[in-house]
Amino acid sequence: MSLSVIWSHLKEKGAARTISIMANRIFDCHFDFKYKTDTINRISLQDLTVAGANKERGSFYQPTMALSFNRLLKAIPLPPESVLVDFGCGKGRVLLLAVLGGMKKAVGIEFSPQLCRIAESNINIVEKAIGARLEITVIEGDVTDYEIEDDQNVFFFFNPFDDVILEAVVENMKKSLQRKPREVAIVYYNPVHSHIMAQHFLLKNRYIIGGEEYVLYSAC
């Protein structure tokens, strides 16, 4: 973590949360160390080839912290037979943590072909390490083109894109819920555009885990 990032965390989040974030980032190397995967390094979208008009609206690749995510899974009430969708799945860390943590399936949508290949390789590495196939699918494409399936009920966002793209995905979630009403958990990590979620979904809880903020919504 660079000094400028630490300084901006200190200003925005205060000393206690900043120390907690730094401690979590240090422990975070453990996931890649354990499985020999490649999920950790942050990559700017400028360094990636992305087709389509939405590159400018996307956030750079940065993984969710494994320790915090595992604690979050224990803290939130999850719908039965959980099938997670990670909108902007990057190198696939959340997909792996979700399925290793007991979810039935995980699907990741990612518009960078390079990140998709790394995610697929990470999944293969973990499958070999544990000697079992994992129910994980990586879909190369833009989230705005993705049609949500009826069995998907946990929607995860790590501040992946701007308000315009989030609005489009929220519309897709609402269409899916109208077609097939069901219990869902919507998790928004680093909720920069939380006002959009709050307009359409019910705010259930706010969690500070490892110094980071996660907001949980359900269908109204």
Ligand X SMILES: C[S@@+](CC[C@H](N)C(=O)[O-])C[C@H]1O[C@@H](n2cnc3c(N)ncnc32)[C@H](O)[C@@H]1O
Kindly tell me which residue out of 112, 122, 153, 176 binds ligand X, with binding defined by CB under 6 A: 112
Q: Rounded CA gap, 220 and 210, in Å?
A: 29
Q: How far is the CB of 181 from ligand X (least distance, A)?
A: 26
CB 59 within 8 A of CB 201: no
SS3 4: helix
Residue 15: how many other CB atoms lie within 10 Å: 9
Hey, which residues between 30 and 49 contact ligand X (CB under 6 A)? 45
Residue span binding ligand X (CB under 6 A) among the ranges 21-29, 86-94, 170-178, 196-204: 86-94
What residues does 207 pair with on adjacent strands? 214
Residue span binding ligand X (CB under 6 A) among the ranges 19-27, 125-133, 159-167, 178-186: 159-167
Kindly tell me which residue out of 20, 24, 64, 176 binds ligand X, with binding defined by CB under 6 A: 64
| Beta strands 212-218; 185-189: pairing state | antiparallel
Question: What is the chain's alpha carbon radius of gyration, rounded to the nearest angstrom?
Answer: 17
SS3 182: coil
Kindly tell me which residue out of 72, 110, 148, 197 binds ligand X, with binding defined by CB under 6 A: 110
Q: Give the residue with the Cβ less far from ligand X, 61 or 155.
A: 61
| Beta strands 83-87; 202-209: pairing state | unpaired
Kindly tell me which residue out of 28, 32, 142, 212 binds ligand X, with binding defined by CB under 6 A: 142
Q: Rounded CA gap, 15 and 17, in Å?
A: 6
Decide if residue 122 touches ligand X (CB under 6 A): no
Decide if residue 63 touches ligand X (CB under 6 A): yes
- Contacts with ligand X by CB under 6 A lie at 45, 54, 58-59, 61-64, 86, 88-90, 93-94, 109-112, 115, 142-143, 158-161, 165
